[in-house]
Structure formats: structure tokens, C-alpha cells
Amino acid sequence: MRPPLSRRHRPLLLIAVLALSPSLARSASKPTLGVGDPPPPLVVSRWLRGEPVRRFEPGRTYVVESWATWCQPCLESMPRLSEIQRRHAGRLSVIGVSIWEADASKVPGFVERMADRMQYAVATDSVPVGSDGFGGRFAKQWIEGANMYSHGVPLAYVVDGRGRIAWIGHPSSLDSVVDAVVAGSWNLDAARRRWQEDRAAEAQSEPLLVAYYGAMRANDPAAKRRACEALVGLDPARFGQYALTAFQTVRGDLHDPAAADSLARRWRREYADHPAVLRALARGVLLDPQLREDPASLAFALDCAGRANQLEGGTQVETLRALSSCQRRLGDLPAAIQSLERASSLATGEQKAEIDRALEQLRAAK
């Protein structure tokens, strides 16, 4: 059964309050931090893993990522960050800073449980006494400073060896950026221009994001759906995550199977050549306690995962795992085993061990 909206979307509701507050509205018009600028100091409360980073050393590259315990995409980014740290050991430091936590006392235990996935330095935001989890100094300087509240978490910053922010964005796009920055081939001037162009384009999306957050606050699923579809219509690639939210809202909140089927067909056409979005759609259905029990939603997820796998040539472990999960839930165990075997052949380390354990269970159930 789907968790109540008040619990499931509590973090987004808190973000919404900030997004609609006068103080944030003022900061949104005057971002003080961007690509090409020197980074703010790392003001954190406590280092939970790795060596504390007191300052950005010349000649060393840094990846500073904001994350939260309640954020599923943050969990999915952890192995990627660990691999980046491993690949560039000695030349780069990855730092994960936990922000926006309703109960910061739970973070140390969470980090301890995630030790195998978080092979990099981890710290918690410095939250003044009497402030809620959104009043942290790191979040204010890095997130609010760059006017990136509406982007949520995870959010990564790459700091180059000359002490300049080289890039800001989602960790899923980090690899090629980090490789270029470490190698000294990153074009900072071009990155700065792209950043400025993106900020100008966001002037069009902000009213829609405000409408979305307002609908979340008001618990108005119809308005939330309209805002999501408008965001996708504005820029399908950039706002692909709202395609999933729209589908979840129509199928799970509005309980409109016909509209959900229509939306599924639309997204399948819209994202026919976007494997990352297709994979996210499939995984989103599988992670939703209600949708993953719904055959029609699973058929949509299977279609998305299958197309993504086709576009990727069967080379992406997470796509293959999503495809296998869809096949298993729809009763096609031989296909599920075949997909997971392919994923196992590509995986390494703990990820491979985890996949192999799942394979054993599938073979036993066959």
C-alpha cells in the first residue's frame, strides 16, 4: 500500500515551503554562486567517514555532493561516487554532505549501514541551534547560493585544481566531467556559458515548479499532474523526472487507469530515444509499492526497460536489473534470469555479489 502523502512527500513539502517563501524568492533572483566562481568554505557539523577536508588544496580536484537519507536517487548515486573516488585516488576527493534532515541524529547510523556503498568522505551539515534541518550553513551557502533549491538532491559540484567551480549538476552526469577536469582538458569558459544559459532558461520553468510545489502543499493531485506535464512539455530531457511523477499521480492518486495508459503511451513515444529517462521510469514504477503490484504499470515499466536496454546494447547493469525485475514480477522467470545473468557478467565487487545472490533466488524459484 502506498504511504500517505503527508509522509511520502514530507521532504518535498518542506522544499516547497522554502521555494514559496519570500526569503527564497529574493535569493532566487540574485544567485551568488555559479560555475567559474570560487567555492564557499565547507562548513559542516561532523565528519562521519574519511579524512576531514578543511580547505580546497591547489592541484586537487573535489566532488562535493549534497544528499539526504530519505532520497532514493541519492542512494543510487553512492556506488558511482565511490567508483569515481577509486578511479582518481590520489588526485581527487569526493565529499558527501548530508542536508535537509528532519532528524540529523539518524544520519551516523545510516552512513554506517551504507559503508560498503559510501567509499568516500561523508559529513553532516552545520545546522544552527533552534533551526530546522533546512537551516544548515552548507545548504544555504551551496544550494541557496547557486539558486538550486528546485533541483533538490542529489546535487554535485566539481571544484577544479585552481579552486574554481567547474560544474554543477546531477551525479549521474559526473563521470565525463570529472575525467576532463582531472586531466586538465575541461573547458571552463564553455561550462560557464552553458551554466548562464541554463539559468536564463530556468526563468521559464520556475513558475511551473512553484505551481508543482504549491500543488504538493495543497495535496491537489490534479494540479500536480498539470504542472508535471507542463514541465515535461517545456523541456522533456531536462524535466524527465516529472514524467514519472505524472504517471504515479494519475495511476496512484487519481486512480484513472485510462488516463494512465494514455500517459504511458505518450511517455514511451516522447522518450523513445532517451535510455536514461526510460530506465528512470522503469525503476520508478518498481520502487513504488503500489505501482509495482499493478500489471498495467509493470507492463509500462517492462516496455521502458526493454527499450532502454535495446538502446544501450545490453551494457548497463542497472537497466538490466530493472528489466529482470519487471520480467520476474510479470511471471517470465527464464527471461528474468537471462537479464540478470547479463547484469552479473558486467558487474564487479559488491554489486556483482548482490546480483549473484538475487540470481540464486531466481533459479531456486524456477
Mean pLDDT of the region 122-127? 97
Residue 17 has pLDDT above 70, yes or no: no
Say yes or no: 67 and 143 in one domain: yes
Name the β-bridge partners of 97: 66, 123
Structural domain count of the chain = 2
* Residue ending a domain, choose from 153, 186, 219: 186
Please give the radius of gyration of the chain, using alpha carbons only, rounded to the nearest integer: 21
* Four-CA torsion 166, 170, 173, 174, nearest 10 degrees: 50
Measure the CA–CA gap between 69 and 111, rounded to whole angstroms: 9
Q: Are residues 179 and 213 in the same domain?
A: no
Residue 14 pLDDT exceeds 70:
no
Query: Per the domain annotation, does 2 fall within a domain?
Result: no
Peptide bond into 154 cis (omega under 30): yes
Q: Is the dihedral of CA 193, 194, 199, 200 positive or negative?
A: positive
DSSP tally for the chain: helices H, then strands E:
16, 6
φ/ψ of residue 116, rounded to 5: -70, -25
Mean pLDDT of 139-153: 88
pLDDT at 366 over 90: no
Is the pLDDT score of 364 beyond 90? Answer: yes
- Does residue 4 lie within any of the structural domains? no
Question: Which residue, 152, 186, 220, sits at the end of a domain?
Answer: 186
* Tens of pLDDT, residues 201-219: 777 887 898 799 889 888 9
Same domain, 181 and 47: yes
Domain contains 330: yes
Tell me, what DSSP letter sits at residue 201? H
The pLDDT value recorded for residue 38 is 98
pLDDT digits (tens, 9 = 90+) for 248-262: 999 999 999 999 999
- Tell me which residue range forms the domain holding 59: 31-186
Identify the sign of the CA torsion 114, 118, 120, 123.
negative
- Within 8 A by CB and 6+ apart from 18, the residues are 24, 134, 149
346 and 209 housed in the same domain: yes
Residue 250 grid cell: 494519475
- Residue 5 domain-assigned? no
Average pLDDT, the chain: 89
Q: Residues 250, 351: one domain? A: yes
Helix (H) or strand (E) holding 251: none
Buried b (16+ CB within 10 A) or exposed e, 223-241: bbbbbbbbbbeeebeebbb
* Residue scoring higher pLDDT (6 or 169): 169
User: Can you name the residues that pair with 157 across neighbouring β-strands?
Assistant: 64, 168
- The per-residue pLDDT for range 70-120, each reduced to its tens digit, is 999 999 999 999 999 999 999 999 999 999 998 999 999 999 999 999 999
CATH number of the domain encompassing residue 213: 1.25.40.10
215 and 119 within one domain: no
Is residue 358 pLDDT above 80, yes or no? Answer: yes
Give the pLDDT band (50/70/90) at residue 32.
Answer: confident
Residues 132 and 224 in one domain: no
CB 242, CB 228: distance < 8 Å: yes
Q: Give domain status of residue 117, yes or no.
A: yes
Q: Phi and psi dihedrals of 326, rounded to 5? A: -65, -45
- The answer to the question of residue 20 being in a domain is no
Position 242 confidence tier, pLDDT thresholds 50, 70, 90: very high
Residue that is last in its domain, among 157, 186, 215: 186
Residue 37 lies in a domain: yes
**Cell digits for 170?**
546531477
Q: Does a structural domain hold residue 15?
A: no
Domain holding 146: CATH number?
A: 3.40.30.10
What pLDDT was estimated at residue 4? 25
pLDDT, residue 30, reads: 62
Q: Based on the domain organization, do 161 and 251 belong to the same domain?
A: no
Pair (164, 270) in one structural domain: no
284 and 151 housed in the same domain:
no
Write out pLDDT tens, residues 180-199.
999 999 999 999 999 999 88
